[in-house]
Chains A and B, each alone.
Chain A
Amino acid sequence: MQPGTDAPATTGPWTGLTERVTGELAGSLNLRRTALRLLDLLCPAFADWAVLALPELRSGRLVLHGGAELTATTPVTVRVDPDTGLGRVLSSGRTEVLHVAEEDGTALDAMIPHPRLREEAAELRPADIVGVALTARGTTIGVLVLVRGSNRGFPAEDVETAERLAARAALAIDSAQLYEDRTHVASVLQAGLRPPELPELPGARIAARIRSAAEHLDLSGDFYDVHGAGDDWLLVLGDVCGKGVEAAVLTGRTRQSIRTAAYFDRRPSQVLTALNTVLYEAESSRFVAVVCVRLRPIGDGSSAVASVAVAGHPPPVIIRAGGSIEQIEAVGTVAGVLPDLAYREVDVRLHLGDTMLLFTDGIYEARGADDFYGMGRLVELLPAYAGAGPEPVCEAVEQDVHEYLGGRPHDDMALFAVSWGR
C-alpha cells in the first residue's frame, strides 16, 4: 500500500501520511529501524530520494541514513559548513528549499555532504532539494533531506507537509536516540554481570542455566562460576538477596570476591570463610547464599572427589548412573551477616555417569497453582535422567519447573550440573 492512498483525498494528496509516520514510528525504539521506517514511508511516493542526516551525540560525526539503498548508513567525518545548506538547517532549525540548476551542482553540494550519495541524487536530474529540520523537545537533532526528480519540484504545500512529517518523525527519532544512549550505558555496565562462558573440564562435562525473575532484563541475583585449571576445579552457584539490578551488582561483587579467594586457596570451606569476612565488612545488611564444589579426579580418573561446602544454600543432589538419588548433607550459615564463621566440607565420590546438580531456591520454591514445586518433585523427576549428562538434566528441570509455574511469575532460578566422565 502506498502512503496516502489509504485515506480520502479531500484534504490534500498526502492525507494519512502524517498519521502513519506518527503511528508506525512509535513501534520502534531503535534508531536504525526508526530511520529505516521513515525512509520507507517517504520513498518513493513523497520523495524520489531521501536521507536522514543525524549528528551522533557520542562521536560528534554525522551519520547519513538511506539514499538509493534504504538500509545504508554512511558516516561522514568531514565538517559540515555551518553557513550553507545542511549546516544552516542544523543550526537554525529552518527549512531550506534549493533549486538545482542544470549545469551546476552547488545545491546538491550544500545539502548532501558525501560524494557517492550526491551522485545518486544527481542521477535523478533533480528539480528541487529540500532540507527540513528534525526538531524535537527544543533541539534540532538532524535534517531530513528530500529530493524529487526532474519535472517534479516541491510546491509550497508539499514543503509544509514535509515540515509536519518531520515534526512527528523527530519525536520518534529523539526517543530512539535517548533509548540507545541508555542502552549503551546499561550494556557496558552489564557486560561484567553476564553469566560466564563455561570452560571445558578434562574428565567432566558441565552445563548451567539461569533464568532471571525479570526475564526481559537478563539481570539476575543468581549466579554461577567455574575456576581452576588442570585437575583441580571449583564450581560455584549462588543467590544474593534481592533481585533485579541491585541484586545483579551484588552478584558481580560476590563473584569477584570468590574468584580472588579461590586464587589463594581453592578449598570450599576457605573460599566461603573469605567471602563471609569480605561481605560482612563491606555490606551492612546484604547476604549471599553459596554452594562451592571442588572437583578433583582420583587415581586413573575413573572417579572424582567432590568437596562440597554451603553457606545458607540448598546442598546439591547426585543422580547416580544407576538412577538412585542422593542428597548431600551439608549445612552452613549464609555469608555476610555474622563475623568469624567457619564452614565445613563434605566429601562425596562421583563415578562415571554420575551427575551432581546444583540449584538455587528459585527452583523448589517456584509457585504453582496451589503449592511450591518442592524438593519432592525434583527428586521424583531426576532418576529418569540418570546417565543423560548435564545439559539434559538442566533442561529437564528448567522445563518441568516452568510447566509447573504455568505462566506465573517466578524468582531468579539457576542450575548447574556436572557429570563425571562422558
Chain B
Amino acid sequence: MTVPGLAEAADRFDRALAAVDTPAATAVIGELLDRGEDPVAVLVEVIAAAQRSVGLRWQRGEWPVAREHAATGVSAAAVEVVARHVRRLPVTRGRVVVACAEREWHALPAMLIGHALRANGWDVTLLGASTTTARLNRYLHDLGPDAAAVSCSVLGALPAGRRFIEAATAAGIPVLAGGSAFGPDPARALALGATAWAPGAYSAIDAVAKLPAVVPAASPLPAAPAAEQAELEQAHQRLVAGLRTTWTLAADVLVDAPVVVDSLQAVAKDVLNQVLHAVSAALLTGDPRPIPETAAWLADLLAARGAEVRLVAELGELLAAGLGDFPLARELVVAHWAGGLVGTER
C-alpha cells in the first residue's frame, strides 16, 4: 500500500539512516510533510519501516548495538520533525495518555503511535521510556484521559504492562495495548486485561476511536501462574547467575565466525534475561508462544554470530533443570522450548 512518492523517499531515508546522517534524514521527512503527505503514512511507511530494518541488521550481526542506537537516534530526530508538524494540527477529539511500561526502553514505537493519534485529532500526552506505574497513575488522575495506550516491545515489560492495565482500568479508563511483546494477535493483550489491541499505527487510530468510555477494573489473573511469575521475578538474578556459569557459551564453541560483532558474552547476558522474561510472559498470559519464539530468536542470533546452534538446546535443558522450584514454568519450558528449535533446523 506504499504511495509511489513515499517509496523513493523511504529509500533515501534508509540510506541516511545507514549513514547516520541526521540532517539528510530530517530533510527527507520535512520535504514529505511540506508537500502534504499524510503524517501517519510518513511515520509508518518511512520511519517505522526503516527502523525495522535497523533491528534486523543488529539481529543478523551486521551492526553492533551502538550503531543500532545511533541509527535509532536519527529516527528519533526524524520523528521529532513529524511531532512538530502534527502539534500544529487542531485537537478535535479527547485525550489519550501513551506510555512505555517499566523496563521498556524502546520509546520510538510509543512515540510513533502517539504522534499518529495526535495527527488524527487526539490530544496526546506522551510519557517516555520505562515509566513507573506510580508516574502513570499520577497522569491518569491529573488528566482524566479518555484512553491510555501502553507499549511493550520487549517481553520483560509485560508484567509492568499488566500493572499499567490495572492502574488505568481501576479508574475506569480503557487501555489499548501494542508492541511486539504482545505478539501477532490480541491473545496476550486481552489475557492481561487490556480493552483492545493494535499491531500498528493505523489500527491504533481505529481502535482508540472504538474504545468504550468506561471499562470495569481488570479481572485478577489466574492465581497459580501469577504467583509463580512473581516468585520467578524474585529469583531472576539468582537464576541468571546460575545459567551464566553452566551454559557453555564460550570461545571454544565458536566456529569460524565471519562476522562476530558484539561480544558473545555481552549477548549472553541479554539472552538469559530474555529467556526468563519469555517464561514470565508465558505464565502471565497463558500463551506459551513466547518460549519457542525466544528459542528460535536465539538460534538465529547465535547462527549470525557464528556460534553453534546446539547451544540453544543446551540452554533449554539447563533452564528446565534450574526451574525445579517453579513447576508451571518448568512444564512450559519442557513442552515448548524444543518447538522453537524444530522450526529453525530446516
Contacts and interface: CB of A to CB of B under 8 A. Distances in A.
B248 interface: no
Contacts of B20: 387-389
A175 B302 CA distance: 56
B227 interface: no
B65 A31 contact: no
Contact of A205 (B22, B132, B237): B22
B214 A70 contact: yes
B142 interface: yes
Interface stretch (A21-29, A118-126, A233-241, A269-277): A21-29
Contacts, number: 106
Given A179-B141, A392-B69, A40 B135 contact: no
29 contacts: A24-B172, A27-B170, A28-B141, A28-B170, A28-B172, A29-B171, A33-B173, A36-B172, A36-B213, A37-B171, A37-B172, A37-B214, A70-B214, A71-B146, A187-B142, A215-B131, A216-B134, A216-B138, A385-B66, A385-B69, A387-B20, A387-B70, A388-B66, A388-B67, A389-B73, A396-B66, A396-B69, A399-B130, A422-B21
Given A33-B172, A216-B137, A392-B66, A28 B237 contact: no
Nearest to B269: A403
Interface string B119-152: 0000000000111101101101111101000000
B322 interface: no
A402 B130 contact: yes
Nearest to A407: B102
B140 A30 contact: yes
Interface in A68-105: 70-71
B77 interface: yes
Given A36-B172, A36-B214, A395-B105, A30 B74 contact: no
Nearest to B266: A384
B113 interface: no
Interface residues on A, range: 35 or more
Given A70-B213, A369-B237, A396-B69, 12 more contacts: A24-B172, A24-B216, A28-B171, A30-B141, A33-B171, A37-B172, A389-B73, A389-B74, A390-B73, A395-B69, A395-B105, A422-B23
B237 A406 contact: yes
A217 interface: yes
A27 B131 CA distance: 20
A216 B70 contact: no
Interface in B252-269: none
Contacts of A36: 172, 213-214
A361 interface: no
Interface of B: 20-23, 64-67, 69-70, 72-74, 76-77, 94, 105, 129-132, 134-135, 137-138, 140-144, 146, 170-173, 213-214, 216-217, 237
A251 B64 CA distance: 39
B143 A30 contact: yes
Contacts of B135: 215-216, 218
Closest 6 CB pairs of A and B: A30-B144, A388-B70, A392-B69, A28-B171, A216-B134, A27-B170
B95 to A, nearest CB: 10
A170 B138 CA distance: 22
